Amino acid sequence: MSSARVESVQLAGSGSDAPSTASAWLTPLELMLLAAIWGASFLFMRVAAHDFGAFGIVEVRLFLGALVLLPLLWRARAQFNLRLWVRLAGIAAINSAIPFVLFAWAAQRAPAGIGAIANATAVMFTALVALVFYGEPISTRRTIGLIAGFVGVTVLASGKTGGVSVWPAALAGTGASLLYGFGANLIRRQLVGLPPGAVAAATLLCSALFISPLAFATWPSMPIPPLSWLCAVLLGVMCTGIAFAVYYRLISRIGAPRASTVTYLVPLFGVLWAWLALGEPLTVTMAVAGALILGGVALNQQWGTSRS
């Protein structure tokens, strides 16, 4: 969930447009698996954030995710000089540390589906930031998509769960996605040619260092239940580290545009897992907002260089 999709799309090449016979069945399977894993990340945050606190759960996630991807960084270590590490540190704060904390904060206050739906706006914010700050042209189709997506965010923020408004959590998730939009554009322009797995490991590592003082200062005094520890470990190892690796595998085989279609499925799995595990319902406002946001994502999706 997360910045993995945005980072990878911007760093990786477009891949081949002619999938092999094996990928005809393997690709849909891996896309579904990846969406299920990233959708589960919002469930894990919802369960564990209450016991760890926002900074604590994010620190565990970042550290374990970086640990899984550390071999990729070690392999490319010769390309990472001091000047590059300074840039990576800035991008890490924008693209990992702050967004992860915002999503964890939201998970303490609203159903997991709220964060999963808000996360889908990252695709649209990437296009908007590219337009406003870098002058990249935007088509009428994508403009309509942006409008639909932002209407969806408004609808999402207007909802209530158990009589309590979810707008703070919805805005936190949307703010995190906005930062993903900035991060994606920075990565695309400042980290060209670097292995995406190594960049992901480096940004996660930098983010873990940033968050660690806050995590230690706010670490809970009461023992953390085993279930929350399990969710935290799964969030870091599976939803961050392993999921990144699976996504890079997909990009190398089918290209970034096709691989990024996983964006459509993540909110569906986020809502599904929360309903199955926690009994959190899909409200009317969540359904309407999800449809508008995913419609906007569809209109903003780029399939190759011929579509703007």
Residue 8 clears pLDDT 50, i.e. is over it? no
For residues 120 and 3, which has the higher predicted lDDT (pLDDT)?
120
Mean pLDDT of the chain: 86
Per-residue pLDDT at 68: 95
Residue 305 clears pLDDT 70, i.e. is over it? no
Per-residue pLDDT at 10: 47
Assign residue 277 a region: left if phi > 0, alpha if psi is -120 to 50, beta otherwise? alpha
Confidence of residue 4 (pLDDT cuts 50, 70, 90): very low
Residue 306 clears pLDDT 50, i.e. is over it? no
For residues 248 and 139, which has the higher predicted lDDT (pLDDT)?
139
Q: What is the dihedral of CA 89, 205, 70, 246, to 10 degrees?
A: -90
Tell me the C-alpha distance between 233 and 239, whole Å: 9
pTM, 2 dp: 0.87
Per-residue pLDDT at 244: 82
pLDDT in tens, 276-303: 999 998 889 999 999 999 898 888 765 4
* Residue spans of beta strands (DSSP E) within 108-189: 160-161, 164-165
The CA–CA distances, whole Å, from 134 to 96, 126, 300 equal 22, 11, 17
Confidence of residue 101 (pLDDT cuts 50, 70, 90): very high
Helices (H) and strands (E) in the chain, counts: 15, 2
pLDDT in tens, 137-179: 888 888 998 899 889 999 998 888 766 789 999 999 999 999 9
Mean pLDDT, rounded, for 53-82: 96
